[in-house]
Structure formats: structure tokens, C-alpha cells
Structure 1
């Protein structure tokens, strides 16, 4: 404002009001002749520490009580003498900075009425202390902002609207091994980060133009770093606007995505390998969504059902199931998708599938839930040939089982014929020969009984020892009527003591010999007594014991000893050896013989 405009007569109220409302960098106020505030602009009101409305109608002393003693004399000089006081340096305490003296630079100019008398004062003032404090705050804020930006691992910078670099945080400078002064003022596309790629430089020039027009641009770029290395960044360029909405600067930013890019490439490679495996698999594979629709199918599956692989995409899996089974299949699929779990093909469920031409074929299916639980990988195999082969094997097995049963039956019959022949021969033989033939007949019956039991059982690979010993005991009671005074007791469970076929015959003959010897020799002269046969499981193997309470063995007779025992007694070690078992003998009182068959040979 010029002196002539201030000191001239009759300053227009409208002009004053315009000055007060302008956003000027200086504080303005109008005081009346009683030093009351008639008008004040926002700048001076803030410097004083009160609002505009808190000033109006109040005196300088009321508004600035701690500064009034310094200011009022100067204001009175202007009112009384009409003197303009310019560029005064004043120190006073104001509400905006309580407890300290503020340094002011002020001018007090008289406002004259039409008669030339001073009717008021125009105050021009700047609170230099507050201004310096604000400046320090701004510098501190800028320093704090710089520290924040420098601590970020992302790349951040500031460009002017032409694309020249004004600022950059520490991350890109350190990564690129450059100093800010080396790149400040240069067009961003000419900085070392982009000097390796002409195409990216061209894109940046165009991006700056578009951002200056208000667009936000984002793209993955490769930048040059220290040592001529490369880094993939997620780059963005955005306009920065002022309070009026004008674009004043451009903000480039970037984030290192090298690890993400490597992960993406690894994922792509993994997906490519999976797709090659999926497409090249010789078994049918399909990806099924939660609604039971095929998302992806390989060529093998399409060939099984008579489709093109592309034609199966979107097809419901229910269309691949025979019509009679679709309702049940839909219920099963719905339950499975609620809690999908891994299902192996080895479960061998008998399932049928429907080809496009309406023919049915047997299949086996494995299900493998994908991560996330929204899709399931189905693996399907046509088992027509395998099913036919299995049926053929099962038929052959049935035929062989029937043949073995028949074989055991024939052997049992033949052994019974031999027993009958031995019985006929014994009827015309000498007493000593008759006894030997009867012993042989007992041995043959023991073997015939074994084949009889095998014929009766469905399992031809092993023999339950308990039932065999029970029936052998009954058979020996019937054939040794002359030992009626002797009680024969068999203690053996009906199950749980299985022996192999290789063990069954020698074990049966051995027990037969032991019982026969006890009935013939342990109770002479009609003596009464007991013969006990006992079998039990021992250390995973089987133990069989035959004991009696008779007169015991003659002195000097042992297992396999031909001097005092008969043929049957001599056979015992040979039979035990065929079982690969261990035979033990204990005499007096009575006789006790135990056969132990090891675990490796028992079933």
C-alpha cells in the first residue's frame, strides 16, 4: 500500500475490506480513535494468538494486555500528531507465544477522515518470532519427513511437472550407488537407474506427460542398480496437487519385487511342469470344482470317454456316470465336497463310468483335494482289462481250490484203503506182526485224519492244531480198546494254534507215536492211569506236550535210541527235525515229551 493511498483523504471502506480479506503475507488491522479493533485480517489474528472475531470491538489492551504498555504510546503518537511510524522493532508478549517476548516488525499509519483529522490507525505487523518458530517447525517437519522417507525400503522421489528429479529418499540412492546431487535436476529417464533400456526411457517420458495431465500410471519395470545389476520394481507415477487442485509435482515410487518375481517365475515353472505332467499322463485326470463341473481335463481322460479335451470343460461329472447311479453319485459328491479328503485308488471300489456313446466300463478313481478346498484332482483308470484278469485269476483259484480239496479227499480215501488192507493182512498174521501192522495202521490213520481236516477247511495253507489233536485223540481211543483203563485227555484250544502244511504231517505223526507208545507200554497189566496231550502258544510259536503217569521209560532208553525203544520211538527225532522243532524228554515219574516249534515256522 502506498503512502498516498494511506494518507489520502477518505480511504474507501470497500478497499479496506478487500485488503483485509486478501491472503496477504503481512498482518493488517484497523483501529478506531479509542484503539478498538474495527477490522483485522487472518494473518495478524493468528500472530496475536486469537481469532478474528475475538479481536473485533475490543481494545488493544484487552487483546494484548502484556504488550499494551509498549504499543499504546506509539499508537497515541499516531492519533495525536498524525505521525506515521514505520518499520518499528518492538518486543512484546502476545497470546500466541505466552511467557516470552516476541520480536515484531510493525508500521502504524494514520487514517484521516474527510476533514483531514486522524480518525483511526492502519496497523501493519509481522511477528518475526512466530515466523521463525513456524520456519523452525517446518524445517523440523521436513527433517522428520526426510528421516521417515529415508527409513522406507520403497523407492520414493519428487519430480517437477517436466520430469526433473528434485528429491529422492535413501533407498534408491544406496541401491543405485549414486549421490542425490549427481541426479538432482536431471530428467528422471536420464538418471542411471534407467540408462540401460531405451524402451523404458521412452515409456517414462510418456508417463511423465500423462501424469502431468492428471493420470496415475503403474507398471513393473527393471531398473539398473549398483554394479550394473538389475532389480524388478513395481513402479508408480502419480501427480501431486496443491490446495487449489493444481498439479505442482509428480511423485515416482517403486518397490523391489525381485523376490516376488522369482516366486512368480518359480510358480509359473511349477505350473508348466504340472501341466506337462497333467497333459502327458497316460491315466485320465480332471480338475473338478465344488459344483462337480470339470474345470480341466487331459487327453487321456477325454479319450477314455470319447470326447475332445476342450469339450469336457464345464461338463458335469454326473454325465460320466450311468443314469441309474446318478442320484446316489450326486449325494456322495455333495457330502465329499463339504469335507474333501485324500482318497486313494487302492481302495478298489467297484465303480462304473459312462462313455459318450452310452457304453459302460469299470473304473477306479482317486481324489486329491487341491489347496484351498475349492477344487479336487480326480484320477481315473479304466480297469476293464485288469478286472477281466482278476476274474480269470479268481476262477483259476477256485478251480485250484476245488482240485486241492479233491486231492486231499482222494489222498484221505486212499489212506483209508491202505488202512483197510493193513487190517485184512493183520487178521492172518502172527501176533508180533499183527502189532506192527496195527502201529502202521495208526500212522496211516493219523495222516488220513490230517487230509480229512484240510478237505473240510476252506484254508488249505495251514492246519489248526487244536481240532486235529482232539480228533486224533478220539481216533486213538477207538483203536486201543485194550487200554480201556487208561484215560486219554486232550487240552488244546479250537483256534489260534495254526501250523503250516510242512509242519502238520510230522507233528501229527510225532504225537500219534507218543500217544500210542504211552497206551501200549506205560500201563502194563491193566494198570490205570492218564495220558494228557496239551498244546499252547509259546513265544509266538507252538508247543505240544504228551505226558503220562505210567511206569516211565526203561533205564538207558532215550530219544532215537534203537537199543531199547521200538521203531516209533526211533522216529521221534526225525519227525521233530522235519518240523525244525526242539524235542525234550523227561522221565520218572511217568514220561513227558515236549515239542517246541519256533516262531519263524508257525503261522
Structure 2
């Protein structure tokens, strides 16, 4: 044993690391206070603290069980004993509650000419964590640099003097300046010459508020002014001092213009259109419902839809709206008639629809409520029901003849007007129909009529004889009838046959005409709503969310122009020249007068053709104004149409000239689908589209019968309108 252990113990106890002294055979002969405390706190030997235990033996046993670290420690201690060289190794020593790392150091110790080993277990957790944090920081820096470099939005950083320190690839694309030429330049290079604020003003506001969102106007290298949405935040040093500003720039020029156009379009619609958050909160409403109710937008925006003025007249109505929002949020489209409250507490019937709006991932991002006033339709339906009841009462007592035959082939009902025909048949009701006929009519006519009734009863096939002239068997008189038989369901649920005789066709035509008018009124009142919803869905599926409003509003404006012409024409035909002018109206009077040339004969298009061709003309004019001949002074568009092949074919052409050079676009979106496919499909024709360098050329050719409204069809529409 070490005789100087009592003198050595205070020295090792004063050391903060865990210390143990080993003899040459590896036996622990003494340990310090830190060692003993660690053993107690971590489930070790609480009595002797491993004094007297062979340290090398413990390591050897653990190594044999697969502990690689124990084998390395055994080898290191053995080498220190043999050569006197120090050995050190770092190892993890984690507990259930914390992560720890230690460094084991073996040092030779000579006392009283005896060689020992001094083993030190030093806690290096703080150093190891610092090293790991440094590695993580370095990796995070590399990750952040990669993210910034590949972001689709422009990322620009500058110091407190406004000198640019970072400029990513998206910034190069947005502004047209290369990164190498911008580093060190003033951020004010992007400001328009008349911009009222300096970079220092923005820096002061950003530093004060820590993060900021705002719109500005900035100028590209080509001199183009763009509306930019800026998100800015201060850059801090390691000590927390502000050393610069980081900004994200997103071009929202078209989005802001689209918002203005959409607002204009929505406010000029005669129907109700709104936008809800998925939870039912109203975030947008057009002018029509606000004016109808006599309220302001601030009275309803931000409220749950069912709590707004239009619906708070009845709890059951509010509950129905609440349930409808939940179903629409799940992806369902709902449509029904409901009463809405307008100014003065009056109730108005509307055809109401609530539809979900999906993003490109199929997630519901908004709910779109819409409605059309159908008060007139409701009044007409009520009038029709009254007319039907009146008609039924008139039939029961009319001089025209109506009678029925049941499934047992017996007379079941004979109207007052039919009694005279059966005046010599008694008893009448319940009488076998064949016997009754043979009393009135001779053979073979009676047998032929019986066979016709039985055939209709068995097959449901109707029979109509516009003129039957026969001599009655019972009266010996010649009589003439216009009669018709049909199979019906009798009150007992079985089939029967009804016979109408004398001329009831005029009344039937009148009744059918009334029903046709009602279907037309119902169809036309819903048509605009259906087309708008279909367009919103197609645009949402083919456009990212940030482009939806712009593209949807433009197409809605185009549809509105065609719709106005169709309505003005009493839902009949639309002249080509009128259609073209309506679709170019958004260009402005100056551009229409100086940049558009029209030529073609008077041709009246069907509503379907007008709608398809009108949408194509709108897409072409929009592209021409943005990229083509109408985007520069002096550019021209020639639009002409003609009939060929002895009037069997119709052709309309669009040709641009005097604009910038044209090349085929790399991407094909919904607009190109409208120009190439939808216009052709609407008229059963074919489209030729050529991106010639001197200007876009588009031609649609279709059969005349699919495009033009025929004289017969025009007369029919006129007659229906007058009826």
C-alpha cells in the first residue's frame, strides 16, 4: 500500500476533477471527493467508492462484453504503466436527464520509488456542447445561404448606410442587375427618381419596429416601374447590435392591379358575390348586397356570415347558413332558394349558392357565397300553381271530354263533357270498357279501339287520332272526334288509361309554353352563377394562389361583356362586330381607335359561339396589350372575319403588327387553352396559332351551322320572346 496516501489525499481532494490512484497491477488504492460524489450520485459503489477494485479488470471484463471504449482505456493504462507516456480519451457519459462528456487522462506517478497511475476524469460537457453548437451554427449558415440563393423571391440585404451586402438570383431576375455589380451599391439605385423617402428613413423605421411589411414602387434596370411587397427585418451581430437590414422583395404589380379590377367587376355585378374564410368569416362582399340592405362594408366584414344583417331575421335561417358553411368547408357545393333581408326589414328570395375554393393542393382556402334575385321567378311559380289549380277545375267541368279506364279495364271516371258520349251506357262507372264501346260503336271500329286501349295499358305507348269519323251504333249518327289516349298511374297505384277527346291540343300547347318559359327564366337566372363558378374552379386549378385573382377577374370581365350582348339580344344572337368591340373595351378608347382595324360582313353568332370566341378575343387582346403589338406605340391588330365555301364555313382572324419581336412562350397556361382549345370546342372548329416574329397570328375556322344563328332559330327565339 501507498504509505504517503494520507498526505496525498488532501491534494487530490482539492482537485475538482474525479481522481483515482492505481497501483501497478491496476488496483484502485485511493480516490478523491469528486470521484466519491460522482459514484454516489450515479448509482456506483456508495461504501468503498471502488477502492480496492481492480480498474484494469473492470475494463477488461467490459471489453470482453463488447465495450470498445473499455478496451481502449485498458490498453491506454497498460501503455502508461509500461512506457510512462500519458494517455487521454474523450467519452460520453449521459444520464437519463442530461447529456455529459468526460475526458479520461492517465499520468504516471512515482512515489517512494514506486510507480503508480494517476487517473483523471474531467467533465468536458461545456466544451463539447460549444463545439457541437459551433458545428450546428456553421451548418445552419450553409443551409441559410443555400435557401437564400434558391428562394423564388428577391432577397436583398444592406448595411446601415444603405450599401447592398447581399443580392440573390431572384433579385437579379426581378431587377435586371447582376450580383457582382450591385454589391456595395446604394439600395436607392432601385428608387424611382421622384420617390419621396430615402433609404435612411426606411432603415430607421425597420430598426425601430424590428420587422415590417409594406408596398413600394421600384424601378428595374430597363426603367420599368413595379409594385413591390417588402418584408424587412434588422440584422443583429453576435452581441445583439443592429448592423444592417435584410429584405424580401416580391413583385405584386399584377396582383394589385387585379385586386382593383376584381373590385370593379364585382361591384358592377347585379348579383351577390362574397368571399368567406373557411370558418365562415366574411372578408369580401360586392356592392350589390350592401346597397340592397342599406348598409356599409364595415357593418359586416369580419363577422361570421350567418350573423350578418342579411340573415339575422330568423335563428333557423342563421343555423342553416352555419351548417352550409360547414358542409362547403368539407368540399360540398350547396345550392338552394332562401330569403335574404334587405333594407327596411323586407325579405327577398334569392337563388343562393355556396361553393368551396381550392388551392393547387386541393385544400379549401375560401368559401364563395353568391346569389341572384329570383323574386320574379317565385311570383311566376305561384301564378303557375294557381293557373294549374284553375285549369284542373276547368277540366273537371269543361265541355271537352275526359275519361279514364282502370287496370281491370273498367270505366273509372267520366267528366261532365264526356257524359253525352256515354249517355246510352248505363250503368256507367265500373262498366267494362269493351262492353261500353260496343254499345256506342259498331264493329270492327269498337274492337280496334279496345285493342288500342289495351296496347297503351300494357306498353305505355300513347296513341293520337287527330280525326276520327264514324257512325254511332246506338244513335245512327256520324260523329267526328280528335282523341288521344295515354297510360297513367291511377290512385290505387296501378296503371290505367286516360282518353282526351275533342280538341285539347291548343290548351296543352299553351300549358307547355308556360312551362317552357318558366324553365327558361330559371335557367337564365342560374346561368351566370354557374359559369362564374366553373371559371373560378378552372382558374384555381391551373394557377398558383397569388395569380388567381388577376386571372379570374380578367376572365370574369370578358364573360360579362359577352353576357351583356346576349342579354341585350333577348338571349338570341350576337353580331360579330359588337362582340369584338365589347371584348376590346378594356383597352381604352384611344387604343381601340388607333390600334384596332376591323373588317367583316354582318354575321350573327349563337350565344355559345359568342361566349367561346369572346373569351378567346379577350385573352388575345390581354396578351397583345402586355407583350404584343398593343404594348408599344404604333402597334396594330387586324381583326377580320368572313364566310367561305358558299357560306358553309366561317373564319375569324387576329393578326398583330408593329409590336416587339415575338417568340413562342415556354409555358402553356389556361389562357392559351382558351385561345387554342376552348374557342374551337365551342363551335366545333379548328384553331391555327402562329407566334411569328413580326406578331401573333390566330385563326379560327368552323362550320357555319355551328357558329351563325340561322334565320329559323332567330325567328323561334323571337317568337318565344313574344310569347
TM over 0.5: no
Structure with bigger gyration radius: 1
Q: State TM-score, norm by structure 1.
A: 0.37
